[in-house]
Amino acid sequence: MLIYAGIDEAGYGPMFGPLCVGTSVFILKDYNPQDGAPNMWSLLETIVCKSRKDKHKRIAVNDSKKLKSGSKPKDLFGLERGVFAFLNAHHSDKPIETDNDFFRLVGSTVPDEPWFESVTPLPVAVDQQELRINSNRLQRAMNSANVTCDWVSCDSIDARMYNERTTIASKASLNFSMAMHHVHTIMQRYPTLHPRIMIDRHGGRSQYRNDLQLCWPEAEIQILCEDIHRSRYRLQRGDSFATITFESKSDEKHLPVALASMLAKYTRELKMIRLNRFFQNEIPQLEPTAGYVKDGRRFLKEIEPLLEEKGINRELLVRSS
């Protein structure tokens, strides 16, 4: 049996909106961990692929940046289709009718700010019937392969908390600590099953042992590999083990990382829909923003009079770095 997990982020660089870190965990009951990381695209090739456009209408699972085609809600089609398929396979008894349902399922808190108060009906881009069909197809394929999508989650930090935490630590440290929070949770969920956890390299670094030791001072940490491609460590806490691999372009090599990337991106996009809706209701001619720096500056300039009029503290809305 293999516990195969992936962690990835979305929203590392923007001015507006949350930083989101997602995780997905699969159980491969017939797989020997000694065989290395499996190719789950091959294992589930009847239902998943990497391309947004597939003649067999398989579900695309890939780096989230390759699946979102534009800036409108309808452009969430590729992300939403994949995220919902796996969520419904995992939570088939819990309908997802609004973004609040989605946030509850993945454990993502909604900040207590006026621009996050509205609720969005879901899905926003994919037909409900198609989502049900995709989920059923995926569940049959995973059953046939003896694979289970066992856990999905997404943490998010809004501008207020981001600004508070980056006054005492760097943005990179914040991102790393969020990823390690997921590692900690995975180890708690599977204490005797030695999960293998895949993470994209943080900032291109190749050495992480000291950072891991700071997170778990009591742990024994063994360096298994540190080269130009990947950095791998075995972490032992009492009788619990985890193998953590930081690898370049992990979302192209490990399906759990790709799904985590999609989950983080979709969570962020739903919160940006709320943020944009609030300000467009106040300023009808305002063009929405994805929150990234160049367009974020345009957006901030246009909403500045409203912020002043309503007495909104910019630190609650705009990231400091």
84, 267 Cβ separation under 8 angstroms: no
The mean pLDDT of the chain is 93
Its CATH architecture, for the domain 2-274, is 2-Layer Sandwich (3.30)
The span from the CA of 179 to the CA of 242, in Å, is 14
- pLDDT tens string 272-299: 999 999 999 999 999 999 999 999 999 9
- pLDDT tens string 110-122: 999 999 999 999 9
Is the pLDDT assigned to residue 94 strictly greater than 80? Answer: no
DSSP-derived 3-state class of residue 19: strand
- pLDDT tens string 232-258: 999 999 999 999 999 999 999 999 999
The span from the CA of 96 to the CA of 294, in Å, is 34
Question: Against a cut of 0.85, is the pTM above it?
Answer: yes
Q: In terms of DSSP bridges, do strands 196-200 and 240-247 run parallel, antiparallel, or are they unpaired?
A: parallel
Rg (CA), the chain: 20
Q: Calculate the dihedral angle through the C-alpha atoms of 319, 276, 251, 96, rounding to the nearest 10 degrees.
A: 130
